[in-house]
Structure 1
Amino acid sequence: MHVDAPIAEIPRGAAREYITREGFAAVYLAVIDDRCVVGASQDLQQSQSALQKRSPSLRVVRAWWVKDRATADGIARAVKKAFDRDDQDRLAADATHVQAAIEAAARAQRVALTAHASVMKKVKAVTALEKRAVSAATLTGDMKPFNQAYAAYRVRHGKGAMSYNVARARLARVLKLQGEGGGCDVTGAIAEVFGDGASGEAPN
């Protein structure tokens, strides 16, 4: 029996944060023995962990990315309807047939699927540029006002505030875009990340 290997790389760290920030979602295909599980996810690391809690042998072997979670959910639902399922929601089909069904569902819904490897290559390139932008800001001391602005932002928003890592990733994105345009305005980038009133001073 042919055994499908797990996908080579699951988004973690900066890549995971970038995908979350952009709102992309994956349609994934996991296998166990001669059965398949299809689902939608914006966090493949979390989905893989959840699958393996159900069964340690379940592994994500293929994934395709689409523009958002609703699109991925629509494809996954259509595929599940095309096959018989057991009481654990596993499809009675092998990976080759399920992949064909995923591709057919995407065509029927006029959705472009992007291969997981292609997405990871692009994401790693973008996050590397963003990391360099933040590193440059750190070397020039420009991260101090960012840290002050984040502290003030947390006071304003409390539990509803984005995490520091998400805020830093957004700053990196803005700085990267500025760099592409030949500029570097850290103060303006900070204001863009946190919105109006994003200064390093605590609110009154």
Structure 2
Amino acid sequence: MKTPSSTTTPSFLLLGDSHVGVLGKAAQARQLRFGGGPLGAGRDFGVDFFDLASTDVTFTAPELQRLYRQALAQLDAPDLARIPGPLVSSIGLSVHYLATAQNWVCYQDPDGTFDPGFLDGPLFASIIDTLSRPALAFYKHALALGLKVYAVLPPQRVPALSDARVFMAAQALLVARLQGLGVRLLDVRDAANDEQGLQRPEYCEIDDPLHGNLAFGELLLERLLRQLA
């Protein structure tokens, strides 16, 4: 659906997984001009999900490509290089997916602990880098096109099927990798988290173990607008 335009706020392209949905809803409520929204699930971006073009990308999954082209059309942009504003994306930041508990049991002792130093060691970094390689390549290409790129950190919610230790360690590593590339962070942990570093209930979707609610989306939007001002 075409979003209304705004003469006072830069437009932006919004791409990612389901976590960007509330950011899009918050932008719609303010009648801000943007294109896009969720393209797929987090696992869709853990594989080689796009092909490079000189001024664009082509998503290899037909449905992702259809939604991507629709997002560009909402901004009257013929390709990624010519979007009229920044790229705002959560691609590759489904940390709960990277932290799926059963995938990490083989690295644990019988009592469920990791060896000291494992989560900040080279083997862990190599695993996360490998799993995140397609997403990081996507951000690198967007930056090479001259775009301003904002990566949306996910809600700090760890579902039962994920390992909280891996979640936090993987997120810290991804933050370092993204900042090393020159990606800016859309990070509202200081406002949305409790003393344990987890999302406060007032920013959580009711009866949902994973997502943030519209109040969380409004926090993200406020932070984005502040950074774009």
Same fold (TM over 0.5): no
Question: What is the TM-score of this pair, normalised by structure 1?
Answer: 0.25
Considering fraction of residues, name the structure with more helix.
1
Question: What is the TM-score of this pair, normalised by structure 2?
Answer: 0.23
> Relative CO higher for 1 or 2, CA cutoff 8 Å, sep ≥ 6?
2
